[in-house]
Amino acid sequence: MPSVSPTLSAAMSHVADSVTETMERILPRSDFAERKLFEAMRYGVLNGGKRLRPFLVLSSAQLFGVDEDCALRAAAALECVHCYSLVHDDLPAMDNSELRRGKPTVHIQYDEATAILAGDALLTIAFEILADPRTHEDPKVRCNLVAALARASGAKGMVGGQMLDLIAETTKLDIGAITRLQRMKTGELIACGTEMGGILGKASNQHLAALRAYAHDLGLAFQIIDDLLDAEGTAEETGKPVGRDEQAGKATFVTILGAERARSQAILLSEQAIGHLNVFEGRAKNLEDIAHFVVDRRT
Amino acid sequence: MPSVSPTLSAAMSHVADSVTETMERILPRSDFAERKLFEAMRYGVLNGGKRLRPFLVLSSAQLFGVDEDCALRAAAALECVHCYSLVHDDLPAMDNSELRRGKPTVHIQYDEATAILAGDALLTIAFEILADPRTHEDPKVRCNLVAALARASGAKGMVGGQMLDLIAETTKLDIGAITRLQRMKTGELIACGTEMGGILGKASNQHLAALRAYAHDLGLAFQIIDDLLDAEGTAEETGKPVGRDEQAGKATFVTILGAERARSQAILLSEQAIGHLNVFEGRAKNLEDIAHFVVDRRT
């Protein structure tokens, strides 16, 4: 299995550091009695995540020569939404997870009410960031960013996927239903990353469609590998509890296809994703590399 | 005590019906497995509420000749945020309320996970509605609406106020801290109603400031009466459990000022609110009437 190229690794670290700094700067602090809320928001986002979605925003935005500070703000907004979804997903009434990336989840570190509110506030601030003129001088672009993020993360996107995921615990889903579930739960927000880059760069419809198709395949490949890591990884490697899908009797790509076919499928999707980038005539190197990374990762 | 004028009552009913219809039309439906999420979203908003915030949007927008359909969309977005906050506030980890407006709360009618997700989706769709060109043709106006709603409902507004409210259960707050709590928890979103009307109408800074000052006083008066209803009302009258603040040992305007002084204070604030409307030279009749209504209401 090829390992992550040093170039990609450096580029990802750079984006992860920059977007973390951007969130650090944008997220409010407070000296008032409610400071716990602000601390929990920071705790929920400043968690050493891979920042895959921000990397997609930056890499797509780069294709169109977008100013990096603008792209970082949009990426920070997207990451706030991703992190809020993890905070709520970990709640006792949802996945009931106590550990995330090797650290106590927000409701364990603080309490359940604080975790609910911190998630709500992270979702809210994402839209405040996008509507701010510092994210892009053209208000039409900013509105398009807001609309794209809301669509990807709402009832017909991520939140709908989370609902399906809960239903999957008690209902047997077939491969089509699981593909739809995963596309909604994780795929839409991943696709939103490349879409936001395109929106910031006022990309043509042809380029937007290519980015969307790429991200669609990438998102599914990403999820299949997530399922494989849950089935085969260890808590030390992944920084979160493993084997939970199987314990819950939940159908996943791995339980339906088996580990080997699931991995082949992920590799196929990754190659297919890269194919969609032809329209950029070799300029989308970061996006190509990330498609390899997504299937090679161990965490 | 004066009763609600028939004119105001008719105007409020008209807005309540129109904004409910607008939400009915905008909120998505689904025939897929996740339909429970969509049903819970509808259940959370189509609940026979007074629609005070939408009324403020419509009444302010009217001052500037804003198209009613645009104002209704903005009002629907604001009401979605208000309703999401009630859904999350009622959760077991928060206020643990089983009854709202005489009906089971969302987590009782469905389940806790569905209530968390339905709240998340309602918050998200609010921003999708505002970013849509049908809400206003000028994208700058739409961005200003998104920013205003996010600020009013986020960590420095409503969500921060909810956090303070939880803290108030275990910490004794003085009248200043309670005023700040209530301003954040309910005042900011009420003020956002008049602000949105002004933004839609591209109001001058002078007019925006007057609307903000009006809504600030109105919001506090509203909250003081809420506390009075909790202390003195019955569950039949208010459609929700009463006496909960006292049971929880929570400091409120009523526990600190006593019922009589609290009511005088609300009436004073209501008159002060009306004073801010002088700049509209008698054209803000609805806003004047609502300031009377807020202190006269029984539910």
Return the CATH architecture of domain A6-296: Orthogonal Bundle (1.10)
Structure confidence by residue, pLDDT tens digits, B233-260: 766 666 666 666 666 677 888 988 999 9
Q: Is A143 left (phi over 0), alpha (psi -120 to 50) or beta?
A: alpha
Q: Is the pLDDT of residue B2 over 60?
A: no
C-alpha triplet B186, A44, A106: angle, nearest 5°: 85
Positive/negative CA dihedral, A195, A199, A203, A205: positive
Residue A189 contacts by C-beta under 8 Å, 6 or more apart in sequence? Answer: A53, A78, A81, A82, A85, A152, A153, A157, A158
Amino acid at A282: G
Distance from CA of A267 to the nearest CA of B (A): 29
Which of B163, B189, B199 is best to mutate for the A interface (most A CBs within 10 A)?
Answer: B163
Q: Pairing between strand A99-100 and B103-104?
A: unpaired
Which whole-number Å values give the CA distances from B258 to B227, B231, B261, in the listed order? 11, 10, 6
Are the CB atoms for A47 and A264 separated by under 8 Å? no
Distance from CA of A114 to the nearest CA of B (A): 7
Q: How far apart are CA A87 and CA A106, in angstroms?
A: 6
Q: How far apart are CA B259 and CA B223, in angstroms?
A: 13
Structure confidence by residue, pLDDT tens digits, B186-236: 999 999 999 999 999 999 999 999 999 999 999 999 999 988 998 887 666
ipTM of the complex: 0.94
Locate the chain B residue with the closest alpha carbon to A137: B140
State the pLDDT at residue B264: 96
Structure confidence by residue, pLDDT tens digits, A177-220: 999 999 999 999 999 999 999 999 999 999 999 999 999 999 99
* Secondary-structure percent of chain B, ordered helix, strand, coil, rounded to 5: 70, 0, 25
Phi, psi of B223 (to 5 degrees): -70, -40
Q: Hey, where are the domains in chain A?
A: 6-296
Average pLDDT over residues B284-296: 94
Distance from CA of A55 to the nearest CA of B (A): 23
pLDDT range class, residue A238, cuts 50, 70, 90:
low
Q: Three-state DSSP class for B131? A: helix
- The pTM score is 0.94
Residues in chain A: 299
Distance from CA of A257 to the nearest CA of B (A): 22
Binary contact (A159, B132; C-beta < 8 A): no
Q: Is B171 on the interface with A (CB under 8 A)?
A: yes
Closest CB to B159 among A120, A127, A130: A120
Binary contact (A147, B155; C-beta < 8 A): no
Are the CB atoms for A206 and A186 separated by under 8 Å? no
Q: Three-state DSSP class for B141? A: helix
Q: How far apart are CA B24 and CA B248, in angstroms?
A: 36
pLDDT range class, residue B49, cuts 50, 70, 90:
confident
Locate the chain B residue with the closest alpha carbon to A93: B113
Closest CA to B51 of B292, B295, B272, B290: B290
